[in-house]
């Protein structure tokens, strides 16, 4: 008789699978002032989870805008990235780290009409842009720094009253399959920053 270990299904670490994919789903699991958790899915399979650990306040914060610390944990339970959003409304960003090393930053760019988010590498070089249409947080295009469209983000519309009040969002994110892994993670984090700002804007108005 084969040992249980020999017959157990092989679990491929989520980041290894993410590195091969061109489309994933980002699903918000919980939403509150102190706790926002998301999961990244390939179909029904969990790849990674974004778990908020702590939050912080800033004297310049307004409305419901706030800083936070989160961990990204893969499907084997291993912490693979840490995230930090400083509690400031002036230069809104999320820093992405592996251990002590900064690997990317997602930043909100101040614009008059169209929401824009930018992805920078560890050296602070602009790599990617996420651009929405006027006052629209449902659809974003993913662009290179030269503004060539290579993917996008689409927010699933609410279909029930319960979903409207729960404010738990689902997104479909597409990017080139050969995009560098840290940049794929940064695009996902950019979507999380976008989601935070969307709900903070609604709470303040």
Tens of pLDDT, residue by residue over 65-112, are: 567 789 999 999 999 999 998 865 556 899 999 999 999 999 998 777
- Structural domain spans, the chain: 4-204
Residue 71 CB coordination number (10 Å)? 15
Tell me which of 58 and 31 has the higher pLDDT. Answer: 31
Class of domain 4-204: mainly beta
Contacts of 57 (CB under 8 A, 6+ apart): 66, 67, 87
DSSP assignments along the chain, one per residue: ---HHHHSPP---HHHHHTT-SEEEEEEEEE-SS-EEEEEEETTEEEEEEEEEEEE--TT--TT--EEEEEEEETTS-EEEEEEE-S-SSS-EEEEEETTEEEEEEEEEP-SSS-EEEEEETTS-EEEEEEE-TT--SEEEEEETT--EEEEEEEPPP-SHHHHHHT--EEEEE--TTS-HHHHHHHHHHHHHHHHHHHHHHHH-
CA distances from 197 to 46, 97, 148, 200 (A): 25, 21, 25, 5
Mean predicted confidence (pLDDT) in 142-162:
84
Q: Judge whether residue 145 has pLDDT over 80.
A: yes
Tell me which of 49 and 3 has the higher pLDDT. Answer: 49
Q: Judge whether residue 188 has pLDDT over 90.
A: yes
Q: Judge whether residue 59 has pLDDT over 50.
A: no
Q: Judge whether residue 13 has pLDDT over 60.
A: yes
Contacts of 52 (CB under 8 A, 6+ apart): 34, 35, 36, 37, 68, 69, 70
């Amino acid at each position: 008789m084969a040992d249980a270990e020999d017959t157990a299904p092989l679990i491929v670490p989520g980041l290894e699978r993410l590195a091969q994919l061109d489309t994933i789903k980002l699903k918000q699991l919980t939403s509150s002032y102190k706790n926002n958790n998301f999961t990244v899915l390939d179909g029904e399979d969990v790849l990674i989870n974004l778990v908020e650990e702590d939050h912080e306040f800033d004297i310049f914060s307004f409305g419901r805008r706030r800083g936070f610390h989160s961990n990204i944990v893969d499907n084997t339970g291993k912490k693979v990235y840490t995230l930090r959003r400083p509690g400031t409304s002036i230069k809104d960003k999320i820093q992405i780290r592996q251990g002590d090393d900064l690997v990317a930053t997602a930043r909100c760019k101040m614009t008059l009409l169209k929401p824009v988010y930018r992805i920078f590498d560890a050296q602070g070089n602009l790599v990617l842009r996420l651009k929405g249409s006027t006052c629209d947080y449902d659809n974003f295009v993913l662009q290179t720094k030269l503004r060539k469209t290579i993917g996008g983000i689409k927010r699933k519309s609410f279909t029930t009253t319960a979903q409207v009040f729960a404010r738990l969002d689902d997104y479909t994110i597409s990017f080139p399959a050969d995009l560098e892994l840290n940049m794929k993670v940064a695009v996902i984090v950019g979507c999380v920053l976008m989601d935070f700002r969307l709900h903070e804007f609604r709470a303040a108005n």
